[in-house]
Amino acid sequence: MMKFTNEDLGCFAKDPAVIEWKGDTYLYHSIYEKGTNILGIGIARLEDEDTFVRIAEFERTQPCEQNGVGAPGAIVLDGVIHLFYQTYGNGPLDAICHATSTDGIHFTKDASNPVFAPREPWADMPEWSCGRAIDADVCVCGDRLLLYFATRDKAFERQIVGAAWAPLTSDFSRGTWTLHPDLILEPTLLWEKTCIEAPAALFHDGKVYLFYAGAYNCAPQWIGCAVSDDGLHFTRLFCEEPLLKNGAPGSWNASESGHPYIYRANNARADNNARAEDGILWLYYQGSPDMGKTWYLSRCSVVIKDAKPQLVEPQR
């Protein structure tokens, strides 16, 4: 079983994002920078089937990053790694930034960062949002790059999910994004409580599957999924029960299984050999055994059967 944390940083690893690059698998994740309470981004590389080793940290260099960054989303487009990540510590003013890399470790920041939030000067603020944007993830849908993000309502109480898009031919800088006028998902189910966050998108068989976290951290937070034909209008696939719950008392994820990231692997081997022609689907997620005092990352393999994701391995 893969289980990763940063022992030298207080056993803290959250908000996973994974890509393959030139034969290696990279894990980008939230950390607390050593000796501080500033949120940052760690970079780890897969050394064997189940072991990630932290190799670097994403450097904060821009004024908008001074209070912290985190919750990365990653994608490879035309031989370039694109990292979409949030500013942190600014309340309703947090927004999405963009950086690129050609080696997986060193990144060039977009000069226009932050590149998107559902507020001026990026967009007219909708009635359903306070203007904040966090927890970015992206997927290609047709000739557009779809950006999904979490935000809050104007009372800053309910966490909800919105979407925007930019042409694939653009550089994804500020001004290239168009905000979808309606929110994508809001908490309505009992197990979602007052929060839907951490959208994680997969384009599969002509549809967009959006995995997401329901309820705030350690409430407990669980993982659900919704599906869409156009990437903008979604139908939930798990209503009475989520796709993935927290673990049993005493387990590494007893307090939650949350903040998902869905990733189609080509290099990795699933323990159960559950291969699809176009790669294994890994569901990465975070867990805590102690109500958020420490945090770990793990994964389980997923198949989509009859247009619905299923866990291949039982949770351990």
Task: Kindly report, residue by residue over 194-206, the tens digit of the pLDDT.
Answer: 999 999 999 999 9
In a domain, 237, yes or no: yes
Which 3 state secondary structure label does DSSP give 93?
helix
In a domain, 297, yes or no: yes
Is a pLDDT exceeding 50 seen at residue 277?
A: no
Burial of 62 (0-12, 13-18, 19+ CB in 10 A): middle
Question: Which domain CATH number covers 109?
Answer: 2.115.10.20
Segment 77-89 mean pLDDT: 97
Is a pLDDT exceeding 70 seen at residue 154?
A: yes
> Lowest-confidence range among 15-24, 147-156, 170-179, 306-315?
306-315
Q: CA dist 245 to 91, 102, 190, 255, Å?
A: 28, 36, 14, 10
Closest CA to 221 of 251, 190, 256: 256
In a domain, 316, yes or no: no
Is a pLDDT exceeding 50 seen at residue 41?
A: yes
In a domain, 234, yes or no: yes
Higher pLDDT, 192 or 121: 192
Closest CA to 56 of 41, 69, 70: 41
The domain tally of the chain equals 1
Token pair in block for residue 244: 């993935």
* CA 105 to chain centroid: 19
Higher pLDDT, 3 or 49: 3
In a domain, 161, yes or no: yes
Is a pLDDT exceeding 70 seen at residue 141?
A: yes
- Residue found by looking up tokens 């000067």 in the block: 121
Q: Are the C-beta atoms of 166 and 147 separated by less than 8 Å?
A: yes
- Domain of residue 166: give its range: 3-311
Is a pLDDT exceeding 70 seen at residue 183?
A: yes
In a domain, 248, yes or no: yes
Angle at 314 between CA 209 and CA 1, to 5 degrees: 95
Torsion of CA 49, 51, 56, 57, to 10 degrees: 110
Give me the chain's average pLDDT, please: 94
Is a pLDDT exceeding 80 seen at residue 278?
A: no
What confidence tier does 237 reach under pLDDT thresholds 50, 70, 90? very high
Q: Are the C-beta atoms of 214 and 238 separated by less than 8 Å?
A: no
